[in-house]
Amino acid sequence: MIRFRRTRTTGYIAVLLIFALYVAPVAQAAASGSDPFSLKKRLLIFPFATQAGMSDSAGGQAAAALSGMFQGDKTYEPMVFSRRHPSVQRAILVEKTLSNSDMLDEFGGQDQESALKIARQLRVDSIVLGDVEKINYDPQKNVGEVTISATVIDVRTGAVVGKPIVAAGQTPSSIKPRTEGEAISLAAGDSVTKIAQAMGVNPQAERVKVKRTASHKSGRGNGLLLALLLGLGISLAGGGGGSSGGAPVEPPDDPPPSPY
């Protein structure tokens, strides 16, 4: 009888843990109006087009920086286009649905046709095309200025989402860059941040959210491990485990004598 009560108590604890770790958070999310099982939209960001005289890597760096702004975002799951992606290589070499002429080094706002062909092959939901339109540096003020335009396109319909974004970034006044390159990089970061904000993302809030989410996942993983260990304890206490290994199964307690 004692062993039966211990098993039942352990089972209650395991059920309570599972409820606290999984059922309650889902119910809370539903009550707040959010969908805990919602899927993110896959967002493909192409290397931005640059103007003559600009660094060849400027467009790729801008795309990578924009992708980083979406860390922890609830709406989009970003990725930066690479011609080395396995699906792209298979489409070129095996399926012949893409050609090398579609593989541009940079994709500006005028390159929608090739970009959409690639996006449909990768089965993403939306794409971002952009142009680094202007890069200036004022040596007297030690300030850089970078203007970037970006367009978000729905892959299924091919239509532009919202209005094209034009973001003029500047070196923050609170920072004193040591070189011209650093001043321009800071201005470009400011411009990319404004693009992300226009797309509905708060980069600073997302960074904080990522840290909190990582901490929450770690805690939930520890709780799950504890629940599994408790479940194992239930199994062992119930006499599971077969004839090889583990403690032998005890015979049931003798029933009390009948009063009749």
**Per-residue pLDDT tens listing for the chain (260 residues):** 555 455 565 555 555 555 444 444 445 444 434 444 447 889 999 999 998 888 878 899 999 999 999 988 888 999 999 888 888 899 999 999 898 888 888 888 778 898 999 999 899 999 999 999 999 999 999 999 999 999 999 999 999 999 999 999 999 999 999 999 999 999 999 999 999 999 988 765 444 443 444 444 444 444 333 333 333 333 333 444 444 444 444 444 555 554 44
Strands 143-154 and 165-170 come out as: antiparallel
Q: What contacts 81, CB < 8 A, 6 or more positions away?
A: 44, 45, 46, 47, 63, 107, 118
Residues β-bridged to residue 147: 134, 168
**Sequence-ordered list of residues with C-beta below 8 angstroms from that of 231, at least 6 positions apart, any chain:** 14
Class of domain 41-201: alpha beta
pTM of the complete model: 0.64
Q: Is 161 left (phi over 0), alpha (psi -120 to 50) or beta?
A: beta
Instruction: Please report the beta strands in the chain, taking only residues with DSSP state E, as ranges in sequence order.
Output: 41-45, 76-80, 126-138, 143-154, 165-170
Locate the domains of the chain by residue range.
41-201
Whether the Cβ atoms of residue 184 and residue 135 lie closer than 8 Å to each other = yes
3-state SS of 247-259?
Answer: CCCCCCCCCCCCC
Contact 137, 180 (CB under 8 A): yes
